[in-house]
Chains A and B, each alone.
Chain A
Amino acid sequence: MDSFWPALALFAIAAAGVLGVYGAAAAVRIGGGPLSREPYMAGVPVTEHPVSRFHVRWYAVTLLFLAFDMEMVFMYPWVLVVAEKGVHAVAEMFGFLAVLLVAVVYAWREGAFRWT
């Protein structure tokens, strides 16, 4: 069973590093408090908050990715048993992948990858 304590320790070190950068900046920087200004818009006054619903035109790709990602969950453990299970395992996995690929081809023909 893996021990993840080193991962936690490395996280602590990385976080300490980031905090160290912020601390160093806080120590040497030109003070005065954070400057709050409109976001940069080429010198033109900003009229609205940019945070808004963003029309993600490639949302179909997201769904396709989800389907494949679920398949990857099976792929990682499959790697460990292919050698002993043999052709059977290979055939099943790649049959599954072929079905998913058909979905990709369908999405492609339906124009999911061209959203402009």
Chain B
Amino acid sequence: MTDSADYVHWWGLLAAPMLLAALAYAAAAGSAVLAARASGAPAAAALTAPAREAAGLLLRRPRTVPGADTLLRRLGVATVPVAAVMAALVVPLGGRSVTDLSIGVVWFNAMEVLLWAGVWTAGWGANSVWGLVGGYRFLIQGLSYELPHMFALTTAALGAGSLRVGEIAAAQQGLWFALVMPVAFAVYLVSTLAMSFWPPFDQPLGADIAGGAAAEPTGADRLVLLAGRHLMLAAAAAMAVPLFLGGGSGPLLPGWLWSAVKAAAVLALLVWAGSRLPAVRMDRFAEVGWVVLLPLVLLQALAVSVFVVAGWM
């Protein structure tokens, strides 16, 4: 435990949201480019598509539905990006995070769970049947991925014997956890897609229910909701780096650059998976989450705890 573990990097208060926003934009642009290439449209123009769509959203006149709970809806929508940024509190860039809480892993988990309330409230508050159905779809998705996700986090923390993200990254100097506990890494990646309702887990915003929780929000509300979704994906992808990919370690390049490169690589993988797979419907796949993923990650945790007890880690 280095003394920098207690140090608060106050400059990170501005740097973290900005870096997160940059990653989020990269995810949006990446998925736009993939969509453009798939449908034969010019791909270069797709790089600026998310920014241009955001510009258009700022111009829209706000809409409400009679009987909608506007305050609740706004709070729900705003929770999504705020929780994502808060989750990035403990994500380090080359060994330095805004603050390296001693319970950083638990903090990350807690912030991500706030999204459940946010998305459901955004759907409910809009007083539209599509939002309602979308919000509940997100809840069952959450129930199915959350336990495997928590166990994946726990397994990584187990490997380092600490809940401090900096220490987990530091404990991987010998061998990345992605190689030691591949099942946990795979489960973490799957849960990342689910937690940020990114395709293939985007049934909460599904096209079959006219956009789901994103059917009614217009203009700034919609921008905040979708930006929050991209921010959460970016935060979770960035978190995979210290948990499973050794943090900023690597030859030649400085730590922060390695962190950024690894986070971008994870993000690219997630964005590619989003365009490559059809949507997962929870009425078929909740079973898989509980009966396949959960025992697998539990076995992984057992294996890792045996390693820890035997002194190999």
- List chain A positions with a Cβ less than 8 A from chain B: 2-7, 9-11, 13-15, 17-18, 21-22, 24-26, 28-32, 34-42, 49-52, 54, 56, 58, 61-62, 64-65, 68-69, 72, 75-76, 79-80, 82-83, 86-87, 90, 93-94, 97, 101, 104-105, 107-108, 113-116
Contacts and interface: CB of A to CB of B under 8 A. Distances in A.
Nearest to A6: B99
A32 B10 contact: no
Contacts of B71: none
Interface stretch (B261-269, B272-280, B294-302): B294-302
A37 B63 contact: yes
A29 B62 contact: yes
Given A6-B8, A25-B220, A113-B290, A90 B63 contact: no
Contacts of B82: 11, 14-15, 18
A17 B85 contact: yes
B140 A36 contact: no
Contacts of B140: 58, 61
Contacts, number: 205
Given A50-B128, A86-B309, A25 B58 contact: yes
A97 B146 CA distance: 16
Contacts of B163: 76, 79-80
Given A7-B86, A108-B291, 4 more contacts: A7-B89, A40-B130, A61-B290, A64-B290
B224 A21 contact: yes
Contacts of B154: 72, 75-76, 79
A67 B302 CA distance: 20
Contact of B99 (A3, A21, A69): A3
Given A11-B82, A11-B86, A108-B291, A36 B65 contact: yes
Interface stretch (B34-42, B100-108, B177-185, B195-203): B100-108
Contacts of B59: 25, 28-30
B136 interface: yes
Interface of B: 8, 10, 13-14, 16-17, 57-67, 69, 78, 81-82, 85-86, 88-89, 98-99, 101-103, 105-107, 124, 126-132, 136, 139-140, 143-144, 146-147, 150-151, 154, 157-158, 161-163, 210, 215-216, 219-220, 223-224, 227, 282-283, 286-287, 290-291, 294-295, 298, 302, 305-306, 308-309
A9 B13 contact: yes
Contacts of A64: 290
B290 A38 contact: no
A35 B302 contact: no
Contacts of B308: 82-83
17 contacts: A3-B99, A5-B8, A10-B89, A14-B85, A22-B220, A25-B58, A35-B61, A35-B63, A39-B127, A39-B216, A40-B215, A51-B67, A51-B124, A58-B286, A94-B305, A107-B290, A115-B283
Question: Main secondary structure on chain B at its contact with chain A?
Answer: helix
A41 B209 CA distance: 10
B17 A14 contact: yes
B146 A65 contact: yes
Contacts of A31: 61
A28 B58 contact: yes
A39 B126 contact: yes
B73 to A, nearest CB: 11
Nearest to B98: A6
A4 B286 CA distance: 36
A107 B287 CA distance: 10
A28 to B, nearest CB: 6
A17 B17 contact: yes
Contacts of B102: 2
A74 to B, nearest CB: 11
A55 B39 CA distance: 38
